[in-house]
Amino acid sequence: MDRDPVLMRLDACYQAMPPVAAMRMSIAAYDGACLRLHAPLACHVNDKGCAFGGSLSSLMTLASWGLVTLRLESVGLSADVFVADTEVCFRAPLFADIEAEARLAEDASWDTFIAEVRERGRARTYLTACVMLPDGGAAATCKARYVAIAKRYDAG
């Protein structure tokens, strides 16, 4: 991860959560449309020597949550982001480090989502995420709904 202060804040937020810190996860890349996270296989190996399914699901959830958080911050909105529901599909065992990436779902719009947070104080959107195999296929995929609730601050 480069020393981008926005990504450093997101990483600090991740590391402040004990279960996430134990995952030894790091931000691998962010380009405004996609957030990619990395975690070493050694911390997520199961009894078969491949990545634990719960870890794959967790990394995809964290990548999606982080992407929503970054998009809100990029337009100056402070909101709590929650995963509402998710559908995960495990496609193949992964015998390598975990690389999870998240993007906005094709049928969703950042503009609509941001406008709704501004107008109503809350909104929902859908993201897709995947964990890639070294050969480029998918070890796991998910589609999830995320909800943002604007933070309200008292002026007094």
* pLDDT of res. 1: 47
56-71 per-position pLDDT tens digit = 999 999 999 999 999 9
Residue 13: φ, ψ to 5°? -65, -45
* pLDDT of res. 156: 41
9-49 per-position pLDDT tens digit = 999 999 999 999 999 999 999 999 999 999 999 999 999 99
* pLDDT of res. 155: 44
The answer to whether residue 153 scores a pLDDT higher than 80 is: no
The two tokens of residue 52 are 């634990």
Q: Binning pLDDT at 50, 70 and 90, where does residue 2 land?
A: low
| Domain 5-150, classified CATH 3.30.930.10, yes or no | no
Annotated domain spans of the chain: 5-150
Instruction: Give alpha helix (H) positions in the chain.
Output: 5-15, 18-21, 53-74, 110-120
Q: How many C-beta atoms surround the C-beta of residue 85 within 10 A?
A: 10
pTM beyond cutoff 0.85 = yes
**Integer Cα distance of 142 and 100 in angstroms:** 11
